[in-house]
Amino acid sequence: MSDKKITKMDVVIAGEIVTLKSTEDADHLHRIARYVDQQIAEISAASKSTLMDERVRTLLIALNIADDCFKKMDNFRDTEKTSRKLQKELAKAQNENALLQQKIKELQSELANTRDELEDFIENFDEDEDETSDKILTLPIHDSRKVVR
């Protein structure tokens, strides 16, 4: 026995009252009944000018419904295929993003190290310059020019 609730309702299809029983909800049953009623109305309108046998008319209605069903299934398969393709592309893009994020971290670390090295260099350069200028200032000045008279 199924745990699903059975929906029982009367609908009008092609002017006839039809009782439907299903585990689907009432809204779903109404949509299906309207769809079948529309298919019957379309074929009936197209066949009024011709003498169409009831059996042929029923076959055309069934073929129209089957055609719609197959088109929807094909569309669904195409959508699933596109979805799988997009999911693969997304996974690839996420992987590339992760690699790029890692590269950014590496470059930021390298930049920080380079800045530190530059600051050390500048600091050492300033110290060397101070030492050199002290030496230059403390050197005795010798005049190598001779005075000729």
pLDDT at residue number 125: 82
Phi, psi of 46 (to 5 degrees): -70, -25
Phi, psi of 143 (to 5 degrees): -95, 110
pLDDT at residue number 46: 78
pTM greater than the 0.75 cutoff: no
- Helices then strands, counting H and E runs in the chain, come out as 2, 2
Q: Is the CB of residue 49 less than 8 Å from the CB of residue 42? A: no
Give the span between the Cα atoms of 36 and 43, in whole angstroms: 11
Residue 131, CA distances (Å) to 49, 83, 119, 126 in order: 113, 71, 18, 9
Q: Is the CB of residue 46 less than 8 Å from the CB of residue 27? A: no
pLDDT tens string, the chain, 149 residues long: the values are 457 899 999 999 999 999 999 999 999 999 999 999 999 998 888 777 667 788 888 899 999 999 999 999 999 999 999 999 999 999 999 999 999 999 999 999 999 999 999 999 988 887 766 666 555 555 555 555 655 55
CA 129 to chain centre: 60
Q: Is the CB of residue 44 less than 8 Å from the CB of residue 25? A: no
